[in-house]
Structure 1
Amino acid sequence: MMLQKTGRCRCGAVTLTVSAVPVMTAACHCDGCKKMSSSAFSLTAMIPSEGLEVQGEVVKGGVQGPELDHFFCPSCKAWMFTRITGFEALTNIRPTLFDTEDPEIQAWCRPYIETMVAKRLSWVTTPAEHVFESMPDMADFSELLKGFAERG
């Protein structure tokens, strides 16, 4: 049976359908993620881009840079996903847009890596297995992907 998970923004105008399992999950404590998520950190599930279908219009928003494109619902302004220049094969989705009572989705919400912990609020803890003061070195990324896949 093929995987198919559907998530929606708060108002329901944008739907994400995912047909690929995440290749990595993360919590990020950078100032941008904290502000865009209005929370202590953002949660990300990285999925193969070909495994994501977007129904409805999305707009770019948030702090833009030459390497980051953040996409939002134009109506409710929910942060839907992020694409990173140079990593077009992967899309970072917000896993809490999906049914968080689903055990598979709960696993998507559990961060494997934790980034930008130098900016982490003092009371925050996560179950992440790999913790980085800033962002992981790109040289380490393939090993992190392999470790996540082996974890199952």
Structure 2
Amino acid sequence: MIGGLHGATRHFFCGYCMSWLFTRPEGVGDFVNVRSTMFENAADYRPFIETFTKEKLAWASTGAAHSLDGFPPEDRFPALLSEYASLSE
């Protein structure tokens, strides 16, 4: 099911438990942002990128390798994806 935002960026949630599942951001093609809580053993995964930190609470911290005020510019995606892929090698 689609969440409260009905623009080009779509947030999908479970109609049964109402948990956010994933987001398809506007203008990013085939990119899908899956909520880490959907993974089995989610505690085993360290955040790689946190976005919209300009809106976060001052005491909130994820320890992500990259903290960005908003979404990364499209031209940074190849380098970020390459860096992320190298972590699993």
Q: Deviations along 1:28-57, whole A, 9 cap, x unmatched?
A: xxxxxxxxxxxxxxxxxxxxxxxxxxxxxx
RMSD of equivalent CA atoms: 1.9
Look up the match of 1:75: 16
User: Which fold has the larger relative contact order, with Cα–Cα distance below 8 Å and residues 6 or more apart in sequence?
Assistant: 1
CA positional deviation for 1:92: 1.7
Q: Which has the higher strand share?
A: 1
Look up the match of 2:28: 87
Q: Distance in 1 between matches of 2:72 and 2:58?
A: 21
The 5 Å alignment of 1:79-118 reads: 79-100=20-41, 106-107=44-45, 110-118=46-54
TM-score by length of 1: 0.51
Look up the match of 1:126: 62
How many residue pairs get matched? 88
Q: Distance in 1 between matches of 2:67 and 2:49?
A: 6
Q: Distance in 2 between matches of 1:98 and 1:130?
A: 21
> Unaligned regions of 5+ residues in structure 1, if any?
1-58
Choose the corresponding residue for 2:4, options 62, 72, 81: 62
TM-score by length of 2: 0.81
Q: Distance in 1 between matches of 2:62 and 2:5?
A: 25
Hey, which bits of structure 1, 4+ residues long, moved more than 6 A? none
The 5 Å alignment of 1:135-150 reads: 135-150=71-86
Q: Give the share of equivalent positions with the same residue, in percent.
A: 36
